[in-house]
A = this chain, B = another copy of it.
Amino acid sequence: MSVTAAQGFRAAGVAAGLKPSGRPDVALVVNDGPDAAAAGVFTRNRVQAAPVLWTRQVLTDGRLRAVVLNSGGANACTGPAGFADTHATAEHVATALGVGAGEVAVCSTGLIGVRLPMDQLLPGVTRAAAELSATGGGLAAEAIRTTDTVSKQAVRTSSGGGVVTVGGMGKGAAMLAPSLATMLVVVTTDAVADAATLDRVLREACRTTFERVDSDGCLSTNDTVLLLASGASGQSLPEAELTELVTAVCDDLAGQMLGDAEGSTKTISITVTGAASEPDALEVGRAIARNNLLKCALYGKDPNWGRVLAAIGTTAAAFEPDQLDVSMNGVQVCRAGAPGESRDLVDLSGREISIVADLHAGDAELTVRTNDLTDGYVYENSAYST
């Protein structure tokens, strides 16, 4: 159900012909209200796709009535003509729904540097608008897939009396910054919440979920996460509780993305403990997550902890090299910067791998998630343009 699990939302997914495969490639999500509050978080890449530029702009008033998403083309690095295409798409949605174009967000994903075939996209939008349904969340989630092998959907509900629902869909084996490929996420809720609250909730949810997934260190031009509230439940939640629900949905989607990362065979959680600060812990976690040599070794089921230390050594975090401890799947293979228990005790045969690096420099701690680097990844990213 994903984006239509919460009351007040309809969605659709159709095949407009943007993908050579003929699979669904246009999704539409509509907020029927009564509220139209919304917030967004976007890529930090300075080269931003036209739909990112457009959606940032329309979100300045904290209102959205609809989100139109397409796969089959990123509409990035397409110049003023590409921006005009995004604008025309939003106008087309607005006309079909009887709302203002300034209430329509646009998200695109696919190859960079190619114009979208508007003669296929706009009729597709018309069809999607005609097929909107309160059970259309699954079809919408299908339509935003690119190299995803499965659609990603998640739903959570509040535990109190008047039930509030949060649902979301996502695409990408990715993170917000950086990403393996474009990550697009739409989260909807029927809670009553104003735009300022949604903005705080969404930023906090992203910070501890998508922002801590680092699949391949590459930051997309199109990453977008949107949160829409219809208020249709008539219920408002304490901000902390709403944050918890939205975070749970984002965390679930992030995990699904990693589990489906291009060519991956391992899902790797890297927990940095004993850091002097959270930024230190994050820098170290990311450095480990981005080390190609380590990621290859883990693909090969090799507990090569020296590559973990080599990665830590590239950071500016507070630590002493001779105090570093590293555990892999519960075996402390490195103690005080030197060999600890035998690496032969480490079993890396399963998909889940846990690495714990203790800096012994403070009390801060966090976990970054990544995946391995495989010949499957190389194949998917060399055999055809994405």
Chain A interface residues toward B at CB < 8 A: 44-48, 74, 76-79, 81-82, 111-115, 178, 180-181, 216-221, 290-293, 296-297, 299-300, 302, 304-307, 309-315, 319, 321-322, 324, 333-334, 336-339, 343, 373-375, 377-386
Contact = CB atoms under 8 A, between A and B. Distances in A.
A47 to B, nearest CB: 3
A45 B313 contact: yes
Given A111-B306, A313-B45, A313-B221, A79 B322 contact: yes
Nearest to A321: B47
Contact of A113 (B306, B384, B385): B306
B77 A337 contact: yes
18 contacts: A44-B314, A45-B313, A46-B312, A46-B319, A79-B322, A79-B336, A79-B337, A79-B338, A113-B306, A113-B343, A115-B339, A180-B293, A181-B293, A218-B292, A221-B313, A292-B373, A302-B385, A375-B378
Question: Which interface residue of A48, A111, A336, A378 has the most chain B CB atoms within 10 A?
Answer: A378
A267 to B, nearest CB: 16
A385 B304 contact: yes
A364 to B, nearest CB: 19
A178 B74 CA distance: 32
